[in-house]
Structures are given as structure tokens and as C-alpha cells.
């Protein structure tokens, strides 16, 4: 299953942000020009990585380094060996979440509910009893307003510009906003993406008002049901805490929330980097000690 970060839609999005794309062997390599050189990233690439072609592009573009993340999970020793033999080393920060939860959407709804934790099922049912309803929307501006409020309250960084550019890069059938409401007040929301048999729970937002109504639980459940109805096979929660990546230490709260819905935890091989400039390599190596 091809990850959305290797799709034409993601290419359109990144090119709006100033990246250039090289498409080789159906693998997308993204290049960002900076003074005196460039940066290259290869997100969620499939197996059969074209290492020699990546090297060729990196040298042509004067890359300081290439940041690469595979779509393979921990345990794929063949890919890991190939990465190491091609001088890619494990890195401590990721382009995309390096660990996530994926729900198999094939079982019936009753089984999906049964696979959840008891408290999660209770929260969903209570939200329904309290009169919360979930509506579909394409109003990205309304969602981003709520998302901005959420980011300020919880202390995480967000880019309204980037989220809106991504939204506008996706066809209507590959995106959806869900809002949980009561008496017209928006209590929670989710930005969903759909691609190649997978639904992505890309961004979420919630109001500080009426938190006792547990609206975020109902939004996720409705997102799971919608994804199943649309014929998608998997629901990806788009990131949970990964002990290998220091920046995810703050993710404990929403990791606990996501785990309540069941599913399988997927740990990707990780994030890898190959340096083409010795000075840059030295700077980044020294930075690990501070």
C-alpha cells in the first residue's frame, strides 16, 4: 500500500511550499534549494529503494544531506541492511510519525467497537446520549480556527498555511472534515485524508468548552465508520509516542486517547540520514551532545 506522502497529491502540496520533485522508479524525491546547496527528503518510500539514483540526484543538486524514511516496519532486516550499506544512519528526529496505530476496517462495526477499550466505548455512547452529533464539512477555515485554538491551549506548533495548502492540493473525494456539534456549537473536529485503501486521521481539534461531552471520541468513531463506508481498508491514526524520537515525548496524552480505539501499533524502521557534506555532518553530530 503506497503512502500518501508518495502520491501526486503530496507532490502538488510540497511544490506549493517550494520543493522540487524528481520522480524515479515510481519513487518521489523532494528537493529544497537553500543557499550554497539543497536539502533532500524521501518520505515513506516503498521497498526497492533506488539508492544509486538518490545519490545521483543528491550530487547533482549539491545536497547537504538526504533524509529518508521507508514504509517498512521494524523487523525488515533486509531494508535495514541496505540502508546501512548505503551509508544511511538512524536519526533522532523524523519527517513523519515513526510509530502509529492502524485499525483494520474489514471487521463489522460491532467487532470494531468490541476491540476498543471499555472506557472508549463508554465515552462514545455517552457523547451520543448527551446529544452530540457529527457532521461532514469541507470548511477548512472553520476547522483551522478550532485547530489554532487547540494548539495554543495544548502548546504544540501548527502551520495554518501548510494545512490549508495540503487541503487545497487534495481532490474533494480524498478529504473530509468532521465536526462534532451540540446546539450549533462546534466541540471537536478532524481533518481526514483518503488514499490507496487507507484513511488518515491527519489533524484533530477540540474546544475547551463542554469537555464533559467527550466529543473527540465520537468524532473518531464517526471517522472510522465513514472510512469503512467509503470502502477503505485501514484507518491510520497518524502518530503516537516513539521512545526513539525525543520530540514525541509530549505525545503521551493523545497516544493514550488513540490506543483506546484498539488497532495494531506499527513501528516503522525509523528516520535515516545520509550526509554529503562533512561540515554539516559534524555540526549535526555535535548537536546531539547538547
Task: Report CA-CA distances (Å) from 244 to 58, 97, 191, 194.
Answer: 27, 11, 27, 28
Q: Give pTM, 2 decimals.
A: 0.94
Give whole-number Cα distances, 54 to 194, 195, 280, 285, in Å: 28, 25, 18, 22
Q: At a CB cut-off of 8 Å and minimum separation 6, what does 16 contact?
A: 165, 168, 169
Between CA 232 and CA 196 the distance in angstroms is 8
d(CA 243, CA 236): 19
Nearest-angstrom CA–CA distance, 193 and 176: 7
CA atoms of 12 and 57, how far apart (whole Å): 20
Question: Cβ distance 158 to 149 under 8 Å?
Answer: no
- Tell me whether strands 264-267 and 185-195 are parallel, antiparallel or unpaired: unpaired
pLDDT in tens, 221-247: 999 999 999 999 999 999 999 999 988
Cell of 87: 551509508
28 sits in which H/E element: strand 27-34
* pLDDT tens for the 290 residues of the chain, in order: 899 999 999 999 999 999 999 998 889 999 999 999 999 999 999 888 999 999 999 999 999 999 999 999 998 899 999 999 999 999 988 999 999 999 999 999 999 999 999 999 999 999 999 999 999 999 999 999 999 999 999 888 889 999 999 999 999 999 999 999 999 999 999 999 999 999 999 999 999 999 999 999 999 999 999 999 999 999 999 999 999 998 899 899 999 999 999 999 999 999 999 999 877 776 666 454 33
- Give 165-219 pLDDT, tens digit per residue: 999 999 999 999 999 999 999 999 999 999 999 999 999 999 999 999 999 999 9
Q: Which domains are present in the chain? A: 4-96+268-287 (3.40.630.30), 99-267 (3.40.630.30)
In this structure, the number of other CB atoms found within 10 A of the CB of residue 143 comes to 24
Residues 46 and 40: beta-carbon distance below 8 Å = no
Which position has the grid cell 502551520?
Answer: 159
Amino acid at each position: 500500500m503506497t503512502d500518501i506522502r508518495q502520491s501526486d497529491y503530496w507532490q502538488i502540496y510540497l511544490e506549493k511550499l517550494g520543493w522540487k520533485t524528481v520522480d524515479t522508479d515510481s519513487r518521489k524525491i523532494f528537493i529544497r534549494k537553500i543557499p550554497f546547496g539543497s536539502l533532500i527528503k524521501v518520505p515513506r518510500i516503498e521497498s526497492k529503494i533506488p539508492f544509486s539514483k538518490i545519490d545521483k540526484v543528491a550530487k547533482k543538486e549539491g545536497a547537504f544531506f538526504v533524509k529518508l524514511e521507508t514504509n517498512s516496519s521494524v523487523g525488515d532486516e533486509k531494508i535495514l541492511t541496505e540502508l546501512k550499506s548505503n551509508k544511511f544512519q538512524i536519526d533522532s528526529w523524523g519527517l513523519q510519525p515513526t510509530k502509529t496505530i492502524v485499525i483494520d476496517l474489514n471487521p463489522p462495526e460491532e467487532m470494531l467497537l468490541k476491540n476498543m477499550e471499555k472506557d472508549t466505548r463508554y465515552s462514545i455512547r455517552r457523547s451520543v446520549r448527551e446529544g452530540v452529533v457529527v457532521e461532514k464539512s469541507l470548511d477548512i477555515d472553520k476547522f483551522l480556527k478550532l485547530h489554532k485554538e487547540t494548539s495554543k491551549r495544548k502548546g504544540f506548533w501548527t502551520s495554518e498555511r501548510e494545512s490549508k495548502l495540503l487541503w487545497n492540493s487534495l481532490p474533494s473525494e480524498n478529504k473530509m472534515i468532521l465536526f462534532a456539534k451540540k446546539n450549533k456549537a462546534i466541540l471537536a473536529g478532524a481533518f481526514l485524508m483518503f488514499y490507496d485503501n487507507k484513511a488518515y486521521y491527519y489533524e484533530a481539534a477540540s474546544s475547551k468548552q463542554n469537555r464533559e461531552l467527550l466529543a473527540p471520541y465520537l468524532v473518531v468513531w464517526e471517522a472510522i465508520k465513514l472510512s469503512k463506508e467509503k470502502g477503505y481498508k485501514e484507518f491510520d491514526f497518524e502518530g503516537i509516542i516513539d521512545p526513539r524520537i525525543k520530540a514525541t515525548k509530549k505525545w503521551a496524552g493523545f497516544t493514550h486517547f488513540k490506543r483506546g480505539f484498539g488497532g495494531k501499533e506499527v513501528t516503522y524502521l525509523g528516520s535515516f540520514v545520509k550526509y554529503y557534506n562533512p561540515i554539516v555532518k559534524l555540526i549535526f553530530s555535535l548537536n546531539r551532545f547538547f
